[in-house]
C-alpha cells in the first residue's frame, strides 16, 4: 500500500497540482494584500470613507452584519477583477512569444525553400549543360 501511495504521489500530475496549489496560495496572499492595503483605501477615499463593515441590524441579541457581507462581496469583485487583469497581461505576453516563435518557423521554412529552389535550379542548369554537350 505504501508503494502504491508513493507511485501516486510521485506522478507528474500530482506534483504539478501540489506546486500549483502552493503558488496559488502565495498568489492569493499577494492579491489579498493588493485589495486590503492598496485598492480598498483608495476606494474608501473615492467613496468618502464609507465603511460597510459597520452596517448592522440588531434583533434583540442577534446581530445581522449585512455590511460585512457587502464588504466581502466588494472584496470578491475587486480580487476577481485583479486576477482577470493579471491573466490578461500574462496571456498578452504569451501571445507575443508565440508570434515570435511562429515568425522564426516561417523564416526557417522560407530559408529551406530558397535552398531547395536554388538546388533545383542548379540541377536543371547542369542537366541542360549535359544535354547540349
What does the alpha-carbon distance between residue 72 and residue 83 come to, in Å, rounded to a whole number?
Answer: 16
The series of mean pLDDT values per 10 residues for the chain, 133 residues long, is: 76 75 84 79 77 82 87 81 84 80 70 86 80 66
Sequence-distant contacts of 75-83: CB under 8 A, at least 24 apart: 75/35, 75/36, 75/40, 78/35, 78/39, 78/40, 78/43, 79/31, 79/32, 79/35, 82/31, 82/34, 82/35, 82/39, 83/31
**Model-level pTM?**
0.48
Amino acid at each position: 500500500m505504501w508503494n502504491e501511495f508513493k507511485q501516486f504521489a510521485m506522478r507528474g500530475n500530482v506534483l504539478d497540482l501540489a506546486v500549483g496549489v502552493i503558488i496559488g496560495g502565495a498568489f492569493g496572499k499577494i492579491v489579498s494584500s493588493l485589495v486590503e492595503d492598496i485598492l480598498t483605501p483608495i476606494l474608501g477615499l473615492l467613496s468618502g470613507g464609507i465603511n460597510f463593515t459597520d452596517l448592522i441590524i440588531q434583533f434583540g441579541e442577534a446581530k445581522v452584519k449585512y455590511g460585512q457581507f457587502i464588504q466581502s462581496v466588494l472584496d470578491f469583485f475587486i480580487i476577481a477583477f485583479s486576477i482577470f487583469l493579471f491573466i490578461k497581461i500574462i496571456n498578452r505576453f504569451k501571445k507575443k512569444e508565440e508570434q515570435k516563435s511562429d515568425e522564426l518557423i516561417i523564416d526557417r521554412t522560407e530559408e529551406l525553400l530558397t535552398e531547395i529552389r536554388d538546388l533545383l535550379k542548379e540541377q536543371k542548369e547542369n542537366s541542360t549543360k549535359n544535354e547540349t554537350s
